[in-house]
Amino acid sequence: MKRQLRALAAAGLLVASSLVAVALGSSASADTQICEQYGSTVIQGRYVVQNNRWGTTAQQCINATSNGFEITTLNGSSPTNGAPTAYPSVFFGCHYTNCSPGTNLPIQVSQISSATSSISYRYVSGATYNASYDIWLDPSPKRDGVNQMEIMIWLNRQGPIQPIGSVVGTTNLAGRTWEVWRGSNGSNNVISYVASSAISSLNFSVLDFINDTRNRGAITNSWYLTSIQAGFEPWQGGVGLAVTSFSANVNGGGNPTNPPPTTPPPGGGAGCAVKYTANSWNNGFTADVQITNTGSSAINGWTLTYSLPGGQQVTNAWNATVSQSGSTVTARNTGHNGSVAPGGTASFGYQGTLSGSYSSPTSFSLNGATCSRS
């Protein structure tokens, strides 16, 4: 999505849906050649294949097959220290008002019970490109324009190219180790998961990558999944690159985000206890917070409030929606940890900046009731 927006904004143009969705009238039963800049067609009555040439004026053509597509003509090229020429891809969901037939996207992350996908690629030599699987999310159920969060899974990287931003660590997902990059292209934030070697096929849980992104504080469970896409970003060459198969399934039935809080239990600290564990250094700190329900009835939805000592500012959080106004911090449950049974716990954490000496907060209130320290 960022690709069309950036190219067209530079030209001072607005995209009408008629320019983006050129051939959605019928599914591609035989191979269908697409050379229009933003031309598209439907395959399997379920997915959209799009040419999506946004970074060059040179001709690019793709051949949509029953299971994916192949790049057949690619005349443009781009410097490897800049953006690619295009993002030909196949997608499920909504992309610039172009929605795949019968899609249930956008769907709120908290409502997703499972999201799975399978992808197979065919690679070529002598070209500079990445094989990228994109997951798009936004705070609103957006069906047009650029989304605020892009998750990129780099299954293959050829040539001197790299993701947006810088390396922030590694993680294990889908049975593999990924190098994690984080940055912004000026239109949206990007978290990229880069494979250490080329992956030609992958059957995986899309939700695992969404959850990892959420745990890094980039989104919350109240955000919406709008589309999932698989294709190529070519810089130089690339004829013969192909997605040979693609499937995606997103199922609802998850837990709603932020259920209404229960009435605070009587007796102040008799209903809750908070364990606050911090680790600080010269100019920053992290904190892990564990809430224990010490009452006799379940908590269905919680809001924890407390004050941070001077010089501390929250920058990102995981497993809770955390905001700060002055010294007051407000942490609200996400969809997966809103219910806490008697004797049960809910945990979240965050990172912050520090000016001066460190000290921990001393008092906490859960749904309006004072909690004891544990």
Catalytic residues: 150, 233
In 3D space, the residue among 228, 268, 280 whose CA is nearest the CA of residue 106 turns out to be: 228
Note whether 95 and 47 are within 8 A (CB). no
- Look at residues 297, 356, 306, 311 and name the one whose alpha carbon lies nearest to residue 331: 306
Nearest to 191 by CA among 174, 173, 158, 216: 216
367 is written with which tokens?
A: 């749904």
The DSSP line for 138-169 is ESS---SS--SEEEEEEEEEESS---SSEEEE
Strands 339-340 and 60-64: unpaired
150: nearest Cα among 4, 337, 309: 4
How far apart are the C-alpha atoms of 11 and 93, rounded to whole Å? 27
To which residue do tokens 């029953």 refer? 66
Q: Mapping DSSP to helix (H, G, I), strand (E, B) and coil, where does residue 123 land? A: coil
Beta strands 69-74; 89-95: pairing state: unpaired
Residue 211: CB partners within 8 Å, gap ≥ 6? none
By C-alpha distance, which of 157, 133, 150 is closest to 68? 133
Output the CA–CA distances (angstroms, integers) from residue 64 to 50, 54, 117, 207, in the order listed. Answer: 9, 18, 19, 27
- What three-state secondary structure class fits 269? helix
CB 80 within 8 A of CB 160: yes
H helix runs in the chain, sequence order? 2-10, 17-20, 206-215
Cβ–Cβ < 8 Å for 236, 122: no
